[in-house]
Amino acid sequence: MEPTGNKSGKKKVVAVVGGGLGGALNACYFAKRGFQVQVFESREDIRAAKVVKGRSINLALSHRGRSALKHVGMEEKVVSKGIPMHARMIHSLKGNSFALLQAVASLGACQIMKVSCKSFVTRFLCDFSAAAEVYPNTKLNFDHKLQDWNAETGNMTFVRADGTKEHIEADLIVGCDGAFSAVRKQFMRRSRFNYSQTYIPHGYKELTMPPIDGDFAMKPNYLHIWPRNTFMMIALPNLDFTFTCTLFMPFEEFEKITTGDEVISFFQTYFPDAIPLIGAEALKRDYFRLPAQAMVSVKCSSYHIADKCVLMGDAAHAIVPFYGQGMNAGFEDCIVFEEIMEQFNENLSEVLPEYTRVRVPDDHAIADLAMYNYVEMRAHVNSKWFLFRKYVDNFLHALMPGSIIPLYTMVTFTRTRYHKAVERWQWQERVRKV
């Protein structure tokens, strides 16, 4: 990464709160512009951690995310550590499986990559540390939990595990601290901040499918799906030849299963082909390792306070994972912000309102779309009609790629603004009905 220097001549202090995916990438963007960047992460350095707390939730990197990485020269580094996924593989109840190809050829290099969160963040942080050597005032601060901050002055108070406090003053605070953002709390106290958090009735549990004879237990370059009406299991490959299986189910269904034998009986009924692949004993044990996790959709507006603070990534728009866009939308935030920084010559009092104006409708559109897909998947993914519709869409697109573009393609393989993609899709739906 080559820092380009700050165009306004004065190096402003940017405090990025949250050193996860979005925070780390944002830090690279600001460092590249020559700001004095400080990253504050409440946890320990993930690079040193032996056991990473939290879930290993699967991440699908597609076009928007890759574009954002490319801008700071990181696309190839990340992609080389990912596993390309060509298509979906549907597992039927009878144990058959068949692939569902995506008509993406006409759009060029637009593969979806499965990446690991830990290796991803590690890569970012290493690159960022390299930049930090160029700017002595740029640094990573771990074990720094945001306690309070002042939107007028930019004063921030962090507390460490040993109870000591640290006070920092920043010109710009970038809240990248996830769905339960501490930065956002200050927004909540202000008037006219619109906010919603919606938990869906489904939870999820993760299970590991080990390698067989040192190789993947199923074909690796697919998103494996077991659609079962209100239940669903998916599996994605990892670099160590394991698969991470994610079981989605209403909470009350999870609660019905209380013994190892009930787990096996449940899998025998709904996912029989997965039992030998995961292993009956492992299944009985791992199912109860953690309670079912909740999924939340967060929408808010506006994203900024004066020229002092801006929310990005999950802190601004946590979405349910049913469109594979959570990380991609967060990464796209960085590049959208970057474009506006360029347009307004880094004048934050113009950049921040413009960022809210431009980005809110798109983030709300993808949040709605992910929620719509959640409802749609439950109702239709198992039905022949739904599969037929997907084929019709892809067929129409192959015939006339310029005029009929499936919504999924616009969202996943282009940078068409999310809200424009939804508008265009609604128009196409009307045309189809004529």
* Footprint on this chain of its own copies (rule: CB under 8 A): 191-199, 251, 294
In angstroms, rounded to a whole number, what is the distance separating the alpha carbons of residues 241 and 428?
A: 41
Choose between 194 and 383: whose C-beta lies nearer to its own copies.
194
Supply the minimum distance, in Å, between the C-beta of residue 30 and its own copies. 30
**DSSP letter string, 307-340:** TTEEE-THHHH---GGGS-HHHHHHHHHHHHHHH
CB 221 within 8 A of CB 85: yes
Of 151 and 264, nearer to its own copies (C-beta) is 151
Whole-number minimum distance, CB 189 to its own copies, in Å?
Answer: 9
Q: Which is nearer to its own copies, 198 or 347 (CB)?
A: 198
State which H helix or E strand residue 165 sits in.
strand 165-169
In the bound state with its own copies, the residue whose beta carbon lies nearer, of 171 and 368, is: 368
The residues, any chain, with a CB within 8 Å of residue 156's CB and separated by 6 or more, are 15, 17, 40, 146, 148, 149, 150, 167, 168, 169, 170, 173
Residue number, 36 or 181, with CB nearest to its own copies: 181
Instruction: For residues 129 and 123, give the distance between their C-alpha atoms in angstroms, rounded to a whole number.
Output: 10
Supply the minimum distance, in Å, between the C-beta of residue 200 and its own copies. Answer: 9
DSSP characters over 198-248: EEEEEEEEEEEE--BTTB-SS-TTEEEEEEETTEEEEEEE-TTS-EEEEEE
C-alpha–C-alpha distance, residues 260 and 268, integer Å: 12
Instruction: Please give the angle made by the CA atoms of 166, 167 and 169, to the nearest 5 degrees.
Output: 145
> Which tokens sit at 143?
């074990």
The CA–CA distances, whole Å, from 240 to 23, 77, 123, 183, 250 equal: 27, 18, 18, 36, 30
| Sheet order of strands, 59-61 included | 59-61, 112-115, 83-85
Between 112 and 247, CB nearer to its own copies = 247
Minimum CB separation of residue 91 from its own copies in Å reads 29
Supply the minimum distance, in Å, between the C-beta of residue 15 and its own copies: 24
Q: How far is the CB of 194 from its own copies (least distance, A)?
A: 5
Distance, in Å, from the CA atom of 94 to the CA atom of 189, rounded to the nearest integer, reads 54
In the complex, the smallest distance separating the C-beta of residue 43 from its own copies, rounded to whole angstroms, is 19
CA separation (Å) from 310 to 33, 146, 206, 333? 17, 15, 33, 11
Q: Which residues pair with 156 in a beta bridge?
A: 149, 168
Q: Which is nearer to its own copies, 8 or 197 (CB)?
A: 197
Between 177 and 393, CB nearer to its own copies: 177
Q: Residue 157 Cβ, how far from its own copies at the closest point, in Å?
A: 19
User: Residue 281 — φ and ψ, nearest 5°?
Assistant: -65, -45
Q: Which amino acid is at 342?
A: E
Cα-based distances in Å from 145 to 129, 163, 167, 185, 262: 20, 10, 11, 14, 41
* Residue with smaller CB distance to its own copies, 103 or 183: 183
Least gap, CB of 295 to its own copies (angstroms)? 10
Q: Smaller CB distance to its own copies: residue 201 or 260?
A: 201
Least distance to its own copies, CB of residue 318, Å: 13
